[in-house]
Amino acid sequence: MGELKLPPIDYGALAPMLILFGVACLGVLVEVFVPRRSRNAVQLVLALLGVAAALTVLVINRNTRIVTIGGAVAIDGPTVFLQGSILVLGAVSLFLIGERSVEAGGAFVAQAAVLVGSDKDSRQSAGQPGLTEVYPLAAFALGGMLLFVAANDLLTMFVALEVFSLPLYLLCALARRRRLLSQEAALKYFLLGSYASAFFLFGIALLYGYAGGVQLSVIHQAAANPQRSQLLLYGGLGLVAIGLLFKSALAPFHIWTPDVYQGAPTPITAFMAACTKVAAFGALLRVLYVAFEGVRWDFQPVLGTVAALTMLVGAILAVTQTDMKRLLAYSSVANAGYLMVGVLALNPDGLSSTMFYLVAYGFSVLAAFAIVTLVRDSDGEATHLSRWAGIGRKSPLLAGVFTFILLAFAGIPLTSGFTAKFAVFGAAVAGGQTWLVIFGVVTSMLIAFPYLRVVVLMWLSEPGETTPAVSIPGFLTSAALGLGVIVTVALGVVPAPLIDLTREASQFVR
């Protein structure tokens, strides 16, 4: 028998992922060999250099269109755009993670194994330097996200899902203050995420039984020329979708979102809200547009119902929230519904508008959480809405910036939120999903209420004795906040360059 020869692996196309995994491994070595007093600076610089190097290689190879590693990884327009988005948003998130001047020692616990409420816990919360293991964990998560959006078969996608999920479970438990809440959030995220992963893996088994392979192109061909029971196809699609809908925070698989967003350290909440959403929707786009395009008429009504339910749940429950981080969590749920409207257009405009929305929302939500880190008292961040009364009188600049971000979330013209919603709604109308657009417009009006309630609270209420102080942002927080605001303005006023870029990138390869 002749020797089986596999095509060579294109390491240039894989370089961004390999760089981040390498940086994560170097970060582990830094934890061992670098003295604790200088470890934070070294880890932050190493992580940022790794992201910059990965982004540079990605830009150099931006025209690469290839399926490599035996069909497991596809480098195409959407992959390059989504990987670039994850890297840029990840760099901004690292600014928030690396901030140490807003709170002494930073947002992260000094020793994760210290018993909550003990004397050691009291001492570490008083200002001991925070854990620096967060940087290699974040690098591993970013590397997994890059692989997740490039995965061209379901097993590779599952491995990537676990690679970026496991570090996130750990990161959620490392808050310096309110540690029990943080650990509870991590445990909930871990347990529910494990169930979602199990559903995803069982779906892969059913689809393998149906198609005889796990590559998306093989599933596409099998769906076009069915040889086995359609029950395997639809059962597999449903179970795989559950795993992806969980990560995307789409109803009814959004239950983890408010608890995890509230309990996790705020920089990690921002990281998840921006980067994880890009990764989750990137994988969902690839699965639906590449593997299951031939059965679009079967899954469109079901996922359309999911999108409508998500928009409704996010809008209604946001109205009832009294905690700022939970309000932003339900805002994230509603925005996942609007993103799903673009996904279900199932046309090139739907793909490009969804990618545009992911970038626009990512920068806005990073700016929002950057502001949340600054409103604090002696017990840490003051996230209860009643504590924000009169903030506009105490710090007009911060309140003005936060008002602008909230108006962007509401979709007010001349903000990135308006442009993004207009793009996904236009694509959905062209794709025959007018009913979803009507639903989206109505829920957009509903969810504007909690945003405007916060604006009224900040500007028209008198500051009380419990109104917290507004911390002076450090350089890293200022950079993250400034970038978020600038991009939110730019994409609302001159969105054409990014829209053109997404249109050029809206072509999958099989």
Condensed to tens digits (0 to 9), the pLDDT of residues 482-500 reads 999 999 999 999 999 999 9
Global confidence as pTM = 0.95
Residue % of the chain over a pLDDT of 90: 73
Does 492 map to a domain? yes
Cα first-last separation, the chain: 30
Highest mean pLDDT of the ranges 109-123, 378-392, 434-448: 434-448
Condensed to tens digits (0 to 9), the pLDDT of residues 209-223 reads 999 999 999 999 998
Domain range enclosing 376: 11-504
pLDDT band at 239 (very low <50, low <70, confident <90, very high): very high
Q: Read off φ and ψ for residue 28, nearest 5 degrees.
A: -65, -40
Condensed to tens digits (0 to 9), the pLDDT of residues 47-84 reads 999 999 999 999 999 988 888 888 899 999 999 999 99
3-state SS class at 66: strand
Does 276 map to a domain? yes
Does 510 map to a domain? no
Condensed to tens digits (0 to 9), the pLDDT of residues 287-323 reads 999 989 888 888 899 999 999 999 999 999 999 999 9
Residue 4 has pLDDT above 50, yes or no: no
Does 4 map to a domain? no
Look-up of token digits 């506009």: 392
pLDDT band at 8 (very low <50, low <70, confident <90, very high): confident
Are 149 and 286 contacting, i.e. CB atoms less than 8 angstroms apart?
A: yes
**Virtual torsion, Cα 246, 83, 134, 28, nearest 10 deg:** 120
pLDDT band at 450 (very low <50, low <70, confident <90, very high): very high
Residue type present at position 54: A
Task: Report the number of distinct structural domains present in the chain.
Answer: 1
Are 348 and 507 contacting, i.e. CB atoms less than 8 angstroms apart?
A: yes
Residue 2 has pLDDT above 50, yes or no: no
Does 123 map to a domain? yes
Q: How many helical (H) and strand (E) elements, i.e. helices and strands, does the chain have?
A: 21, 5
Residue type present at position 180: L
* Residue 210 CB neighbour total at 10 angstroms: 24
* Residue 8 CB neighbour total at 10 angstroms: 7
Does 186 map to a domain? yes
